[in-house]
């Protein structure tokens, strides 16, 4: 099989948001902390009407409808999520309700979990399946989704919610590069969810940023080494048209691109440095491991990479800025944002890298090529047009006051384990086609309906 990649995509964003500007006032923090300091403008959230099963189902059902997918043509369905509502039963099994009623039950795959990395792991499993001896010629679907909520405090404005569904198969317009995935995995307690009685994580904010940037250094350098083996002319960021990152909040992504430039600077032959990186030679002796919170260095490389950021990364942050962290779906929301920022003609032949990070920790940098041949061109056009419909929904959302958002969080918190339970969240405000929770019975079985 050739050109295995993404054939179609769909993103689901909840119909309500809270404005970060208003949240700053409500939380009593300095004006600009969330909007400028974190780089966020709006945060999407769900009431108790939605859960991980329903948001993944909403994205999946739309992907199937819009692309007229024959359910018997799907041989694998995988979910990546860290929003756990059951310690045994996977979200994938709930998604099977759609397939099973058509008698389509010969479908491999279950859920994968490790913080924000599960979507990428599910995607890699799926690509590997299509390229393997187990493949039976059918297509596959990957769903990455999460409801990211934090307890009251500094992490709360970095929440969000959403789900992305991707159709995977051969002869795709977005093709995964082979043999160059670069991973860094190790143990860290930066962000984790050991309290099974609570929906909220334990977070060591500063450590999580350090772990993220360290993982980026490791993955980026290994990725460059692997790329150079395939193409000796590969020059890091300069050879890439785009660089996409998992986005916990947009400011960290801008800092990450600056970090990539710092790596290019360190990797540059000393006699070339002054020419390529004018005025930065005072950082020649700086070590990666000692500079994660070096203000001066960060400022200098942020300034150096400003135009690179505008060109290669900023277009990928539209959804992240307007929805917030969607955990496993965050990087793939970045991909959607990047694709809709350009026309199919502008995208043909482009290459971009993606950095996936999940606390705990698991991370990978990999790359995608936009296929050059004409048949891929029309598929690409269809894919992008369909994403424009999704994005239009962002402007149709309801702006909810911080107090009502906080009340809604309180209801989620108090009822995380209540059974039987009937959600109180409004059905009227949901977008057409949204799945929602009708009730949880005394055996904790959940029933859903579709609007």
Interface with ligand ACO by CB under 6 A: which range of 230-238, 248-256, 366-374, 431-439? 248-256
**Whether 156 contacts 340, CB under 8 Å:** no
Interface with ligand ACO by CB under 6 A: which range of 168-176, 244-252, 280-288, 405-413? 244-252
Check binding of 28 to ligand ACO (CB under 6 A).
no
Site residues for ligand ACO, window 373-432 (CB under 6 A)? none
Q: How far is CA 167 from CA 3, 61, 78, in A?
A: 14, 12, 11
CA distance 327 to 325: 5
Q: Which of 151, 205, 315, 402 touches ligand ACO by CB under 6 A?
A: 205
Q: Could you tell me the smallest distance in angstroms from the CB atom of residue 158 to ligand ACO?
A: 4
Binders of ligand ACO: how many residues, by CB under 6 A?
A: 21
Check binding of 38 to ligand ACO (CB under 6 A).
yes
Q: Could you tell me the smallest distance in angstroms from the CB atom of residue 344 to ligand ACO?
A: 31
Interface with ligand ACO by CB under 6 A: which range of 66-74, 104-112, 207-215, 300-308? 207-215
Check binding of 33 to ligand ACO (CB under 6 A).
yes
Check binding of 151 to ligand ACO (CB under 6 A).
no
Check binding of 32 to ligand ACO (CB under 6 A).
yes
**Catalytic residue positions?**
82, 116, 246
Site residues for ligand ACO, window 217-236 (CB under 6 A)? none
Q: List residues bridging with 8 in a β-sheet.
A: 167
Q: Which of 91, 149, 155, 326 touches ligand ACO by CB under 6 A?
A: 155
Strand pairing class (5-12; 160-169):
antiparallel
Interface with ligand ACO by CB under 6 A: which range of 128-136, 208-216, 304-312, 374-382? 208-216
Check binding of 262 to ligand ACO (CB under 6 A).
no
Handedness of CA 150, 156, 157, 158 (dihedral sign): negative
Check binding of 39 to ligand ACO (CB under 6 A).
no
CA distance 437 to 55: 10
Check binding of 248 to ligand ACO (CB under 6 A).
yes
CA distance 105 to 109: 11
Handedness of CA 332, 333, 335, 339 (dihedral sign): positive
Q: Could you tell me the smallest distance in angstroms from the CB atom of residue 256 to ligand ACO?
A: 10
DSSP 389-424: HHHHGGGG-EE--HHHHHHHHHHHHHTTT-SSB---
Among candidates 44, 47, 119, which has minimal Cα distance to 436?
47
Q: How far is CA 446 from CA 62, 96, 99, 100, 379, in A?
A: 21, 14, 18, 17, 37
Q: What angle do CA 247, 193, 17 make, to 5 degrees?
A: 45
Q: Which of 116, 219, 280, 380 touches ligand ACO by CB under 6 A?
A: 116
Which residue ranges make up the site for ligand ACO (CB under 6 A)?
30-33, 36-38, 116, 154-155, 158, 191, 203, 205, 208-209, 212, 248-249, 252, 359
């Amino acid at each position: 099989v050739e050109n295995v990649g993404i054939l179609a995509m769909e993103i689901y964003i909840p119909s309500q948001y809270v404005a970060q500007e208003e949240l700053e006032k409500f939380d009593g923090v300095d004006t600009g902390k969330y909007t400028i300091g974190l780089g966020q403008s709006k945060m999407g959230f769900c009431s108790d009407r939605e859960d991980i099963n329903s948001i993944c189902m909403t994205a999946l059902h739309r992907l199937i409808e819009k692309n007229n997918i024959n359910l018997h043509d799907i041989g694998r369905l995988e979910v990546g999520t860290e929003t756990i509502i059951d310690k045994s039963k996977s979200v994938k099994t709930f998604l099977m309700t759609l397939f099973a009623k058509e008698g389509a039950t010969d479908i491999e795959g279950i859920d994968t979990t490790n913080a924000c990395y599960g979507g990428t792991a599910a995607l890699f499993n799926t690509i590997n399946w299509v390229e393997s001896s187990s493949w039976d010629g059918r297509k596959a679907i990957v769903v990455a989704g999460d409801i990211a909520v934090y307890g009251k405090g500094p992490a709360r404005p970095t929440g969000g919610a959403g789900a992305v569904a991707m159709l995977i198969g051969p002869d795709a317009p977005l093709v995964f590069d082979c043999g160059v995935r670069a991973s860094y995995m190790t143990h860290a307690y930066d962000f984790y969810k050991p309290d099974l009685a609570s929906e909220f994580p334990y977070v060591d904010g500063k450590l999580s940023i350090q772990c993220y940037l360290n993982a980026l250094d490791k993955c980026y350098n290994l990725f460059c080494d692997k790329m150079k083996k395939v193409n000796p002319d590969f020059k890091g960021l300069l050879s890439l048209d785009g660089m996409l990152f998992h986005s916990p909040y947009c400011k960290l992504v801008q800092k990450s691109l600056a970090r990539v430039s710092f790596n290019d600077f360190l990797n540059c032959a000393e006699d070339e440095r002054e020419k390529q990186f004018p005025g930065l030679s005072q950082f020649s002796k700086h070590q990666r491991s000692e500079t994660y919170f070096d203000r001066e260095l960060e400022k200098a490389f942020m300034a150096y990479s400003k135009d690179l950021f505008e060109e290669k990364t900023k277009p990928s942050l539209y959804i992240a800025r307007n929805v917030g962290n969607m955990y496993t779906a965050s990087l793939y929301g970045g991909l959607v944002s990047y694709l809709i920022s350009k026309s199919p003609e502008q995208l043909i032949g482009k290459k971009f890298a993606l950095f996936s990070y999940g606390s705990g920790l698991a991370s990978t940098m990999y790359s995608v090529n936009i296929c050059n041949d004409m048949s891929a061109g029309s598929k690409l056009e269809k894919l992008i047009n369909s994403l424009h419909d999704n994005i239009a929904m962002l402007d149709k959302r309801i702006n909810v006051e911080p107090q009502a958002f906080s009340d809604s969080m309180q209801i989620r918190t108090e009822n995380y384990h209540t059974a039987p339970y009937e959600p109180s969240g409004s059905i009227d405000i949901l977008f057409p086609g949204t799945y929602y929770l009708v009730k949880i019975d005394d055996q904790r079985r959940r029933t859903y309906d579709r609007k």
